[in-house]
Structure 1
Amino acid sequence: MKNCCALLLTILFSLVSYSQNIPNTIHTKDFTIGKTVTIHSKLLDENRELNIYIPNSYKQDSLKTYPVIYLLDGSKDEDFIHIVGLVQFGSFSWINLVPESIVVGISNVDRKRDFTYPSKNNLDQKEFPTSGHSHQFINFIEKELKPFINNNYRTNSTNTIIGQSLGGLLATEILFKKTDLFTNYIIVSPSLWWDNENLLTYNLSTLNNCKHVYIAVGKEGEVMERTAKQLHKKLENLSSNNTNLHFNFLEDKTHGDALHIAVYNAFSVIFK
């Protein structure tokens, strides 16, 4: 009995001592990696939410200007957080993968509506009933979004767009129809099957002043892999000396996990 009491006292004393060693919370605050800004688009007749990351040096140097990376599927529960992490890590001086950059994540309202042009395929129309309005969304990017960013932040002339899947389809459409809208294009797993692959037949004569086009696709099936390779071949046949083309077949990646490593690889060739 005495031994049991002694044991209980020892345990109780140990617990009290342990609890006294746990530090008290002095202060807590939210950890943020950017700001969410809502703007009203007259062209789309709706509010659009932007997630914006600003490099740490932005406030320290009032004269420095920054490249801008525009991210499709840029919601906080989509690709904004992990791409910003990649940009922040890659811009460390000892990594030097990518210059310090502003990242603008465009949150989705209806990606099927915004990322697709009208399809003549009946199945596309049936499965994506709101589709076919990429023209309006591209106008929004050109005439409202980019001017808003350039007017409110210290930007320079280098800007990059990142799009995957349907976002890759949209990035390809912009490359074909509004080439000068971006300096660099990062196109990952583009959904070029849309509209019976008709975007690949678009009559494109030049890439104008586009500096880099990076295309990547994972092990994603015959159609996805073939059309991504066809896109690269199409651009290869007309690229000027000013345009650098890059193609990555990520055979150990899928449609779901190709984006992160593809963007890392793209940064390594675009900003080297």
Structure 2
Amino acid sequence: MIKKAFIFCSILWAANFMVSGQTATVKPLTIGEIRTFKSKTLNEDRTLNIYLPQGYDKTKAYPVIYLLDGSMNEDFIHVTGLVQFFNQMYSMPETIVVGIANIDRKRDFTFHTDLKDLQKDYPTTGHSDKFIGFLEKELKPYIESQYKTTDKYLFGQSLGGLLATEILLKKPEMFNNYFIISPSLWWDDQSLLKKAPEMLSKSGDHKKFVYVSVGKDEHPVMVKDAGDLYDVLKKAGKKNWTVEYKMMETDNHATILHRSLYEGLVKLFPYKEPQ
């Protein structure tokens, strides 16, 4: 018994010696850049998490995805992983992702409301006009001064989807492609949705891709409003707009984003067999 214990201890000591004798080189894993951007419009510093494709070449032009809710602990990491996967396996070109980190999304993503219950529940609300101005007049020009760019995408879910819808209806020229996931169109008694037909009648008809999605297991109002938005967009008769809609059969408000973005990107960039 003592002999067996001695042999076991000898083996354990030898294993520990081998491990301690090994050396490893450690360096940071870098997938892009973190920039702090001073906004005069918002009067605050904003953090930008920027994904750059592997082998990024500053002499080349790239599409850019502007990701709302783009903090490191929100949607930045899993969305950039999805983009990298589509670069590798589908026909999507290499793309830059600009994740806009949040400070107060309820303030930035909602427009003014006179409804007292919403004012009470969302005391900082109602400043999407400033945030849209920040995107249009500061952030986009800044990104385009730092990188060569082509098509512009906007990804937004929930209140971010409400903001993306507001931009699409009021300033559709800001982006070429809109991914509107589970938009909170219930805001302000659905006033944005009610005004949508009039707004669309005044907007241009430049080439655009619009993808609307909602989870079947979300609140019935969310499901109905997303379907109504799709209907309004289709009835607008924009010949150069491609409008897609996807009901995610197994998703709720918490689970929908990643899978829904996958389904939307497939519509733009179908799988191609390797040549």
* Fold shared, TM-score > 0.5 on shorter chain: yes
- Sort the Cα spacing of 1:126 and 1:201 in 2 relative to 1 into closer, same or farther, 3 A: same
Q: Encode CA deviations 1:87-114: one digit per residue, 9 max, x unaligned.
A: 011101xx12421000000001110000
- Sort the Cα spacing of 1:19 and 1:239 in 2 relative to 1 into closer, same or farther, 3 A: farther
Q: CA deviation at 1:207?
A: 5.3
2:212 aligns with 215
1:244 aligns with 242
Superposition map of 1:94-109 within 5 A? 95-109=89-103
Matches of 1:239 and 1:104, distance apart in 2: 31
- Sort the Cα spacing of 1:160 and 1:239 in 2 relative to 1 into closer, same or farther, 3 A: farther
1:260 aligns with 258
Superposition map of 1:76-87 within 5 A? 76-87=72-83
Matches of 2:62 and 2:108, distance apart in 1: 27
Runs of 4 or more above 6 Å deviation: none
2:273 aligns with none
Q: CA deviation at 1:164?
A: 0.2
Matches of 2:147 and 2:183, distance apart in 1: 30
Matches of 1:125 and 1:266, distance apart in 2: 34
Structure 1 residue identity aligned to 2:229? L
Matches of 2:92 and 2:70, distance apart in 1: 19
Superposition map of 1:1-272 within 5 A? 4-22=1-19, 24-59=22-57, 62-92=58-88, 95-156=89-150, 158-202=151-195, 203=198, 204-205=200-201, 206=203, 208-218=205-215, 219-272=217-270
Q: CA deviation at 1:210?
A: 4.4
SS in 1 for 2:244: strand
Q: CA deviation at 1:241?
A: 1.8
Q: CA deviation at 1:57?
A: 2.7
- Sort the Cα spacing of 1:21 and 1:207 in 2 relative to 1 into closer, same or farther, 3 A: farther
SS in 2 for 1:143: helix
Q: Which runs of 5+ in 1 are unaligned?
A: none
SS in 2 for 1:40: strand
Matches of 1:27 and 1:163, distance apart in 2: 39
SS in 1 for 2:56: helix
SS in 1 for 2:257: helix
Q: CA deviation at 1:230?
A: 0.4
Matches of 1:63 and 1:36, distance apart in 2: 20
Q: Encode CA deviations 1:3-50: one digit per residue, 9 max, x unaligned.
A: x22011111111022223436232111212221100111111111110
Q: CA deviation at 1:224?
A: 0.4
Instruction: Report the identity percentage.
Output: 46
Q: Encode CA deviations 1:40-67: one digit per residue, 9 max, x unaligned.
A: 11111111110001111323xx532100
Maintained 8 Å contact 1:182/1:210 = no
Q: Encode CA deviations 1:112-142: one digit per residue, 9 max, x unaligned.
A: 0000000122111110010000000000000
TM-score by length of 1: 0.94
Q: Encode CA deviations 1:73-100: one digit per residue, 9 max, x unaligned.
A: 00000000000000011101xx124210
Q: CA deviation at 1:232?
A: 0.2
Maintained 8 Å contact 1:41/1:144 = yes
Q: Judge which range, 221-230 or 31-40, deviates more.
A: 31-40
Equivalenced residue count is 264
Matches of 1:133 and 1:271, distance apart in 2: 35
Maintained 8 Å contact 1:163/1:171 = yes
